[in-house]
């Protein structure tokens, strides 16, 4: 049974902003990957790609454009959390359709 706790979502948003990964997050490109870094230069994510189709298929890697879009979206996470609607900062106060919900005290 899935348990939905909207407070966890709000806590995640606060934790993301107050923890050790200060925004803004930036994206740097290398020969083989995009690196998402926080304001202090700490590497948060590596998104690998391959330009050559044969090698890409064998290694199951992303295209350069796919990797760039994923890295850009990861870098937007701090902005999305701070722009969350509602007074509690809850991004989505309702569970997904069809999810079984049990309210916790």
In a domain, 92, yes or no: no
Q: Which residues pair with 48 in a beta bridge?
A: 33
Task: Give the burial string for 36-49 (b: 16+ CB within 10 Å, else e).
Answer: bbbeeeeeebebeb
In a domain, 10, yes or no: no
In a domain, 5, yes or no: no
In a domain, 27, yes or no: yes
In a domain, 30, yes or no: yes
How many distinct structural domains can be found in the chain?
1
Q: What are the tens digits of pLDDT across the range 8-17?
A: 555 555 555 5
In a domain, 14, yes or no: no
- Between CA 88 and CA 11 the distance in angstroms is 9
Q: What share of the chain is helix, strand, coil (3-state, %, to 5)?
A: 35, 15, 50
Q: What are the tens digits of pLDDT across the range 70-87?
A: 999 999 998 887 665 655
Q: The domain containing residue 40 runs over which residues? A: 23-82
In a domain, 48, yes or no: yes
Q: Which residues pair with 45 in a beta bridge?
A: 36
Whole-number percent of the chain with pLDDT over 70 = 59
In a domain, 97, yes or no: no
């Amino acid at each position: 049974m899935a348990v939905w706790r909207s407070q966890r979502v709000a806590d995640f948003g606060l934790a993301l902003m107050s923890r050790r990964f200060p925004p803004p997050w930036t994206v740097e490109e290398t020969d083989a990957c995009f690196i998402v870094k926080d304001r202090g230069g700490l590497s948060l994510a590596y998104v690998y790609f391959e330009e050559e189709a044969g090698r890409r298929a064998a290694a199951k890697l992303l295209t350069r454009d796919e990797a760039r879009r994923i890295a850009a979206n990861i870098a937007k996470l701090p902005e999305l959390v701070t722009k969350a609607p509602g007074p509690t900062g809850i991004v989505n106060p309702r569970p997904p359709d069809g999810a079984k919900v049990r309210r916790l005290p």
